[in-house]
Amino acid sequence: MLLRARLDKKGIFAYEGVMWIMRSIILVFLLLSLIFITSAFLVKSIDTRLADSYVLMNFLYYSGNSIMLEDAATGRVYPGIVSLGSLEKTELKGTLFSYGEVGGEGFIGAQLTVPLNANGKTTPYLFVYDKDAFNDWNFLYAAGLTKGMGGVSKFSIAKKLIAAKSGQFSNSDSTFEVVMKNA
Amino acid sequence: MGSILSNILQMVKQRLTGKVVGKRGASTVIILKTFGLAMAAFVIVTMVVYWNSVRENTFLEKNYLARDIALLLTAASASPGDLAYCYYTVGRYRSLGFSYEIGSSRVVVEDSGGGKASYFYAETLEKGADKPRLSVKGDSEEWKKRGLAVFVVTKTSKGIEIEAKGLGENAAPCSA
């Protein structure tokens, strides 16, 4: 006000002109800030990866194509007893079921480790869904890339099972690990 | 009266300009201040329009439906025996008139604006097993008339099927 009181007519116009340019720039910044703040709090998706992990685990354990021991004579399935000799290959993708990934596209990588304790030694048996995705994303998880887009999340579910192979049965502390990309 | 009005005008000019600069100077400053008010109004209107578009967008709803239905289909595949499950569309999800494409391990949910959300579900690779296939255009005249009420998911020894039923239609074992 004091400055403007000392200015003549031309000075006031110049002063007002410059001030309004500054105010316009500040208003633009204000507008962009409000938009960014709103976008930061906008929820566009729901994280269902833990649910996906549990559903996949149940698919392996309890579905019609499960890895559980099946009595060939009666057709009875024994949930909780994993038949380690039931699959010729331990890669599950494209054998029992699939999420329909095409090309190099990956959706979920999973590994079930079932240790068999027999003859005084423990042998881990692995069932893997999408080995490439599991190994790649597991590496990213180990490297600490867990936040934001491009990161991965890992879920481990422990379960006590009975491992069966060639007539031998043993208690087994299985671990089901699932890695998925952040989306 | 005329002198009162001219005194008021003089006070307004003085208030706006800080000093009496005369009619032309006051007009220019008033124009600049009006421009400022117009800028502020522009910011307010832009924010209101933006927040309204945020309120009306359906990203979350489409993502939610795609994931929910995909998890349902995978869980149905994971079940040990036969089952029938009713997935009701209620309230806002029914009124939004989404389109659904289910098949080839993908659930795609789309709205009339063209935005879509998709999610994977697991399919068994048993030969000859039925696999879920469905295509519903929620914004079509047919479905606007029928009113999408429920998805019926049935799993039998033959495989998994998913059907869409309208309001009041026979959707046994569900009630539409």
Instruction: Output A8 or A74, whichever has higher pLDDT.
Output: A74
pLDDT value of position A111: 92
How close B137 gets to chain A, by Cα (Å)?
Answer: 23
CB pairs under 8 A between A and B: 116
In 3D space, the residue among B48, B16, B52, B19 whose CA is nearest the CA of residue B32 turns out to be: B16
Question: CB A27 to CB B39 under 8 A?
Answer: yes
Interface confidence (ipTM) of the complex = 0.80
pLDDT value of position A5: 57
Asked if B33 contacts A13 with a C-beta cutoff of 8 angstroms, the reply is no
Mean pLDDT, all residues of chain A: 84
pLDDT value of position A101: 83
* DSSP one-letter code for B17: H
Instruction: Give me the mean pLDDT over the A38-57 stretch.
Output: 89
Q: What is the pLDDT of residues B132-141, one digit of tens each?
A: 888 888 888 8
In 3D space, the residue among B57, B66, B121 whose CA is nearest the CA of residue B99 turns out to be: B66
pLDDT value of position B21: 52
The DSSP string of chain A is -HHHHH--HHHHHHHHHHHHHHHHHHHHHHHHHHHHHHHHT-------HHHHHHHHHHHHHHSTT-SEEE-TTT--EEEEEEETTS-SSSB-BTTTEE----TT----EEEEEEEEEETTEEEEEEEEESHHHHHHHHHHHHTT--SSTT-EEEEEEEEEEEEEETTEEEEEEEEEEEEEE--
pLDDT value of position B167: 84
By the 10 Å C-beta count (0-12 exposed, 13-18 middle, 19+ buried), A100 is classed as: middle
B46: tokens are 């832009």
For residue A19, pLDDT over 50 is answered with yes
Question: CB B123 to CB A100 under 8 A?
Answer: yes
Question: CB B74 to CB A52 under 8 A?
Answer: yes
A122 touching B (Cβ < 8 Å): no
A101 touching B (Cβ < 8 Å): yes
pLDDT value of position B15: 66
How close B113 gets to chain A, by Cα (Å)?
Answer: 16
For residue A95, pLDDT over 90 is answered with no
pLDDT value of position B19: 56
For residue A38, pLDDT over 80 is answered with yes
Q: What is the pLDDT of residues B80-115, one digit of tens each?
A: 888 999 998 877 777 788 999 998 899 999 988 778
Q: Which of A17, A34, A65 shows the shortest C-beta gap to B124?
A: A65
Asked if A35 contacts B54 with a C-beta cutoff of 8 angstroms, the reply is no
Question: CB A30 to CB B43 under 8 A?
Answer: yes
By the 10 Å C-beta count (0-12 exposed, 13-18 middle, 19+ buried), B107 is classed as: buried
Instruction: Give me the mean pLDDT over the A29-57 stretch.
Output: 89
pLDDT value of position B31: 78
pLDDT value of position B79: 87
Q: Which of A1, A51, A100 shows the shortest C-beta gap to B106?
A: A100
Q: Which helix (H) or strand (E) holds B98?
A: none
Instruction: Output A166 or A12, whichever has higher pLDDT.
Output: A166
Q: What is the pLDDT of residues A102-130, one digit of tens each?
A: 777 788 999 989 888 877 888 888 888 88
Q: What is the pLDDT of residues B20-79, one digit of tens each?
A: 555 556 677 677 778 878 888 988 999 999 989 888 888 899 999 999 999 999 999 888
Question: CB A56 to CB B28 under 8 A?
Answer: no
Q: How confident is the model at residue A88 (pLDDT cuts 50, 70, 90)?
A: very low
Question: CB A97 to CB B106 under 8 A?
Answer: no
